[in-house]
Amino acid sequence: MKKLFIEQTADKVGQEVELYGWVNSKRDHKQIVFIDLRDRSGSIQIVGNESLKPLSPEDVIYVKGIVKERPKNLINEKMKTGKIEVEVNEFKLLGKAKTLPFPIDSDGSNIDEELRLKYRYLDLRRKRMLKNMLLRSSFIQEARDYFYRHGFIEIHTPVLSKTTPEGARDFLVPSRLQKGKFYALPQSPQQYKQLLMIAGIEKYFQIAPCFRDEDPRADRAYGEFYQIDIEMSFVEREDVMRMTEQMIIEVFEKLGAKIKQKPFPIFTYKEAMEKFGADKFDLRTEEDKKNNLQAFGWVIDFPFFEKTKEGGWTFTHNPFSAPLPAFKQQLLEKQNIESILTSQYDLVCNGFEVGGGSIRAHEPNVLETVFEIMGYKKEEVWEQFGHMLEALSYGAPPHGGIAPGIDRLLTCIAHEPSLREVIPFPLTSGGRTSIMEAPSEASQEQLAELGIAVKTKSRNKKVFDQIRELLDSHTIQYKILEHPPVYTSKDAAKIRGTELTQGAKALIMYGDKKPLMLVLPAHLSVDMKKFKMDRRMKDLRMATPQEVKKITGVEIGAIPPFGNLFEVEFYVDKKLGENKDISFNAGEHTKSIVMKYIDFERVTKPVILDFSTKI
């Protein structure tokens, strides 16, 4: 077993040591060869004879030798082990390394991210990533330590669970024992942590994995992320906020971070909207940014409900929240719903939401009314949330909690531009896992056992037919127009007899090397600069006609605005939604479809953004 980290050799002058590690670099001086040997802790100079010559960078070796002081003129003050070197008596090659697919002595920011994720186990060898992994580990250790000292119990809640409303799409897991039924991966442990309060746990926390199948967004990690999930009984809003703030301050400062303002300033939602135009805001000045200050703030007094597109109500943050006490009666009477405020509190850091929580509805009638306001019938509420309503009726303590997101907090401390830099094995923005390339197909046997038949989307099937199938499966009304071939939006509008403004122009682009589809009204063009800024992209360019063909199977000029069919990131400009009807070439120069915009948005589920500008 390896007994010594390289860093620990510094005080072992004169002693024989055994070291294990990777060849960081090699300098060959005829009879004498220098190796920089690296392990997790650092690196050290190894001096040996010609037998070291066959070694190459990233080989894994074992070395036995004597620690010696370096001659004065060869001391390297910058290295922890710069005053010493190890003279080799014995060495073994333990693992030969091929040439790596990319250099690991840089911070990696110039290397294509897909490539870095494909070889994440090599990417993690770079100093920057090792530092981030160590930071992550210390962060979790400090947080745990805080909670244990303050009387919290760490409890794991199930990962195979039931679908629950948290505002995102669920990941489903098919059941073999009950064919045709599904588990859902938790979007958060919300209901379980509340059940733990009813169970009398009083103070719970968990480093909890959460799963949300959301459309790609710049400020979220796709797929899975970790929260410090917290719940406490017999508390009011201010108690949870104070405890969270203390924990964050303590953990951040132990990790060497500097916080701009303590206690954290508190804004009501109304104040935040008036002052910053958003409920997430960056309180740092340019000077603060230079000094790496972390600027936290709270937002409270959010509206509980917002109007849905269909004219009903939905929750703004969390359906399990209680309204602020002053609004309880109003909620129970379902009066002036738009003015009801929730007990929700959001924590903001450097312009990002880094966590949110609330005091919960611990009286079953309050929770039931929340779902009724959102349009659930009584039976539906009981069918879906009966377990919670029942649990709340066996002596539920008043309780509340919060869930700061670990990944986002770490990007703040580490000054990293993306969440993926602090996650060991993140999913790509297109939703593929690093290295192993999931999702992947299941075998026929697996599918048969699960009672699942996969409708294969045949590449041979014409895009036109795929669109029709999609629209038909949602029983959507649309009109097909057959016409002589058209190649431009203007000609298309003329021949269809439709307005140019209602033409849905679909463009394939590459943003930071990933294919995307942008759809906008045909009379407008893409404001590349703005889109890049909004999406925090470094690089954005049009795809070539060949690339377009490869991605969509369709000729340029006939691309339908169905990014969802081509598995690319998919964005639609807000202004397209100003049309009642939209029209587009449906994968062929001679066929167009006219349909309601609202139906289009419903079936394709794009990310709606504002990126158009006049031509």
Binding-site residues from annotation for ATP: 212-214, 353, 405-408
Closest contact distance (angstroms) between CB of 381 and ligand ASP is 19
Q: Tell me the binding residues.
A: 166, 212-214, 317, 353, 360, 405-408
For the record, the structure tokens of 352 come out as: 């990002």
- Nearer to ligand ASP (CB atom), residue 9 or residue 321: 321
Q: Which is nearer to ligand ASP, 357 or 426 (CB)?
A: 357
Is 402 or 593 the residue whose CB approaches ligand ASP more closely? 402
Q: Which is nearer to ligand ASP, 357 or 560 (CB)?
A: 357
Rounded to 5 degrees, φ, ψ at 563 are -55, -30
Closest CA to 576 of 532, 529, 533, 518: 518
- Helix extents (H) in 150-214: 190-198
d(CA 601, CA 603): 6
> What residues are paired with 173 via a beta bridge?
183
Q: Name which of 361 and 463 has its Cβ closer to ligand ASP.
A: 361
C-alpha span between 545 and 555 (Å, rounded): 7
What's the CA gap between 422 and 211, in Å, rounded? 17
Q: What is the DSSP string of 395-413?
A: TPPPEEEEEEBHHHHHHHH
Nearer to ligand ASP, 91 or 304 (CB): 304
What pairs with residue 25 in β-bridges?
36
Which residues make up the interface to ligand ASP (CB under 6 A)?
188, 190, 227, 318, 356-358, 401-403
- 595: exposed, middle or buried (Cβ count in 10 Å: 0-12, 13-18, 19+): buried
| 364 Cβ contact list (under 8 Å, min separation 6) | 388, 389, 390, 392, 393
Instruction: Compute the least distance from the CB of residue 560 to ligand ASP, in Å.
Output: 36
413: closest CA among 354, 340, 500? Answer: 354
Token look-up 């960078």 returns 57
Minimum CB distance to ligand ASP smaller for 357 or for 503: 357
- Rounded CA-CA distance 224/423 in Å is 10
- CB nearer to ligand ASP: give 221 or 576: 221
The binding site for L-aspartate comprises 166, 212, 317, 360
Nearest distance from residue 164's CB to ligand ASP, in Å?
A: 9
CB of residue 391 vs ligand ASP: minimum separation in angstroms?
Answer: 17
Nearest distance in Å: CB 76, ligand ASP: 49
Residue 240: CB minimum distance to ligand ASP, A: 9
Mode of pairing for the β-strands spanning 313-315 and 296-300: unpaired
Q: Which residue is nearest to ligand ASP (CB)?
A: 188
The answer for residues whose C-beta is within 8 angstroms of residue 457's C-beta and 6 or more apart is: 466, 565
Q: How far is the CB of 445 from ligand ASP (least distance, A)?
A: 37
Q: Least distance from C-beta 317 to ligand ASP, angstroms?
A: 7
Instruction: State the DSSP string of 59-100.
Output: -EEEEEEEEEEPPGGG--TTSTTTTEEEEEEEEEEEE--PPP
Q: Which is nearer to ligand ASP, 316 or 433 (CB)?
A: 316
Rg (CA), the chain: 29
Rounded CA-CA distance 337/353 in Å is 25
Task: Give least dist CB 400 to ligand ASP, A.
Answer: 8
Q: Work out whether strand 16-29 and strand 504-511 pair parallel, antiparallel, or are unpaired.
A: unpaired
